[in-house]
């Protein structure tokens, strides 16, 4: 009896399965064999030992990370945007980094944006099927209208996610600078982007669960990208988060502490000048360092585009 040739769909499924097994992030980790037989303390120790490898994997990509920081800072300084694209865990980590930029650096929410497959509802519930759609990836990034002013960063542990690859290809074709953050070398996503940052963290404690080491590596890298770019742009003074918005008691106290340290004020003087500045830490710091009025400090910050060190230089009498 003549056998039927395997269907194209079955053949593709077999190829995909074989490709997945070759990925470092999909391999079985011998260090966590028989994990289900371990005590709670043994499980914690195994995970901790594996997590200790993440920083070293990220360290190997520091030069590429630095290149990405400079490209992002250059884009943002010209009025461009940083747009993250990801699915599942990668998309949620991207969203976390993006939404924390405005309260940390006092930047416009449009400056750092995110796209996650499945839309905002995917932040709280798994919408995994969408990640296989190249069409949805293209559509999502097309809605952002990327241009040569922007940097689009695609995040995917495997480096194979169709949604993210298609978004990066679209952004690149429309002139945007593109960066890939992946955890496997020579990936399709890495090849699609101008610059590939690879954190080769190896096999996960729970096989294929890239929310673990891969997710940690991605979080570390995105922290570096935004913190590095914002620092290069002058939104950090020394190592102080001077552009914070003191909207609650904790942040008010942090603002007072920043003024004490940066301007050499005692606690009472820091509180007084913060009140005189209308609760705005950057304004208070420029007032204190340049010994000028609130109005002049506001003008200097406007002229320096919110960069405190530059504003002090502008306002300080020679």
Within-domain flag for 29:
no
What is the separation, in whole angstroms, between the first and last Cα of the chain? 96
Token couple for 259:
């003024």
pLDDT digits (tens, 9 = 90+) for 24-67: 676 667 778 888 899 999 999 999 999 999 999 999 999 999 99
Residue ending a domain, choose from 232, 261, 289 = 232
Alpha carbons 167 and 152: distance in angstroms, whole number: 9
Catalytic position from the list 26, 42, 50, 100: 100
Within-domain flag for 79:
yes
Q: Based on the domain organization, do 117 and 205 belong to the same domain?
A: yes
Within-domain flag for 8:
no
Alpha carbons 207 and 196: distance in angstroms, whole number: 24
Within-domain flag for 24:
no
| Distance set, CA 212 to CA 72, 96, 251 (Å) | 27, 16, 31
Top pLDDT among 14 and 88 is at 88
What pLDDT, on a 0 to 100 scale, did the predictor assign at position 10?
A: 47
What pLDDT, on a 0 to 100 scale, did the predictor assign at position 291?
A: 93
CB atoms within 10 A of CB 163: 30
CB 281 within 8 A of CB 246: yes
Portion of the chain with pLDDT greater than 70, in percent: 91
Q: Based on the domain organization, do 179 and 295 belong to the same domain?
A: no
26 is an active site residue: no
Alpha carbons 159 and 263: distance in angstroms, whole number: 46
Residue ending a domain, choose from 204, 232, 260 = 232
Q: Based on the domain organization, do 96 and 201 belong to the same domain?
A: yes
pTM for the predicted model, two decimal places = 0.87
100 is an active site residue: yes
Name the residue range of residue 296's domain. 249-315
Of the pLDDT bands very low, low, confident and very high (cuts 50, 70, 90), residue 115 is: very high
Q: Based on the domain organization, do 119 and 191 belong to the same domain?
A: yes
> How many distinct structural domains can be found in the chain?
2
pLDDT digits (tens, 9 = 90+) for 254-308: 999 999 999 999 999 999 999 999 999 999 999 999 999 999 999 999 999 888 9
What pLDDT, on a 0 to 100 scale, did the predictor assign at position 14?
A: 47
Catalytic position from the list 26, 50, 131, 177: 131
Strand partners, 152: 83, 178
What CATH number has the domain bearing residue 221? 3.40.50.10490
Number of residues assigned to the chain: 318
Q: Based on the domain organization, do 271 and 221 belong to the same domain?
A: no
pLDDT digits (tens, 9 = 90+) for 127-181: 776 888 999 999 999 999 999 999 999 999 999 999 999 999 999 999 999 999 9
Mean predicted confidence (pLDDT) in 182-199: 96
What CATH number has the domain bearing residue 262? 1.10.8.1080
Within-domain flag for 292:
yes
CA 172 from centroid of its chain's CA atoms: 19
Taking every pair of Cα atoms in the chain, the longest distance, rounded to a whole number of angstroms, is: 96
């Amino acid at each position: 009896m003549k056998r039927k040739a395997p269907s194209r769909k079955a053949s593709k499924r077999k190829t995909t399965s074989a490709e997945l097994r070759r990925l470092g992030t999909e391999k079985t980790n011998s260090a966590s064999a028989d994990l289900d037989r371990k005590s709670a303390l043994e499980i914690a120790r195994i995970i901790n030992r594996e997590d200790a490898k993440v920083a070293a994997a990220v360290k190997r990509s520091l030069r590429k990370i630095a290149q990405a920081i400079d490209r992002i800072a250059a884009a943002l300084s010209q009025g461009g945007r940083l747009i993250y694209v990801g699915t599942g865990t990668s998309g949620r980590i991207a969203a976390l980094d993006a939404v924390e930029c405005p309260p940390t650096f006092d930047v416009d929410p449009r400056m750092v944006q995110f796209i996650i497959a499945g839309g905002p509802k995917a932040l709280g519930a798994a919408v995994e099927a969408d990640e296989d759609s190249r069409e949805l990836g293209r559509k999502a990034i097309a809605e952002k209208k990327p241009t040569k002013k922007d940097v689009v960063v695609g995040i995917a542990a495997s480096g194979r996610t169709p949604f993210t690859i298609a978004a990066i290809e679209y952004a690149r074709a429309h002139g945007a600078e593109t960066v890939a953050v992946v955890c496997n070398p020579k990936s399709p996503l890495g090849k699609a982007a101008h610059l590939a940052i690879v954190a080769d963290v190896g096999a996960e404690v729970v096989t294929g669960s890239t929310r673990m080491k891969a997710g940690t590596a991605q979080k570390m890298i995105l922290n570096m990208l935004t913190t590095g770019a914002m620092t290069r742009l002058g939104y950090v003074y020394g190592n102080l988060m001077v552009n914070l918005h003191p909207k609650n008691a904790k942040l008010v106290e942090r603002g007072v502490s920043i003024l004490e340290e940066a301007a050499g004020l005692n606690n009472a003087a820091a509180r007084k000048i913060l009140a005189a500045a209308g609760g705005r830490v950057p304004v208070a710091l420029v007032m204190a360092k340049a010994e000028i009025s609130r109005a002049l400090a506001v003008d200097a910050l406007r002229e320096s585009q919110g960069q405190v060190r530059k504003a002090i230089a502008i306002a300080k009498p020679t």
